[in-house]
Amino acid sequence: MKKFDVHVDEKLCKGCYFCIEKCPNEVLTKSKTIGSKGYLIAEVDDSEKCVGCRICERICPDFAISIH
């Protein structure tokens, strides 16, 4: 199975958590890190679970998520 690298840009994430809510495989989780916008950001919990569907990438209103 192909592996995907999921990246959340701390400078762009505003902590809306749409990505967490919509990910079918629970790849992302709420972080304890405060991003540059002053919000608790989303972070990758388990990239091994990522199937590359890109739902998180497409739903992010701030383009903070990229998948490679």
Q: Cα separation of 60 and 13, whole Å?
A: 9
**DSSP 8-state secondary structure symbol assigned to residue 12:** T
Which residue stretches of 1-68 are H helix? 18-22, 55-59
Specify the CATH number for the domain of residue 27. Answer: 3.30.70.20
Whether 32 is covered by a domain: the verdict is yes
Rounded to the nearest integer, the mean pLDDT of the chain is 95
User: What's the CA dihedral at 58, 60, 64, 68 to 10 degrees?
Assistant: -20
Express each pLDDT in 39-64 by its tens digit: 999 999 999 999 999 999 999 999 99
Domain presence at residue 12? yes
Main-chain dihedrals φ then ψ at residue 42, nearest 5 degrees: -85, 155
pTM of the model: 0.90
Cα–chain-centroid distance for residue 15? Answer: 10
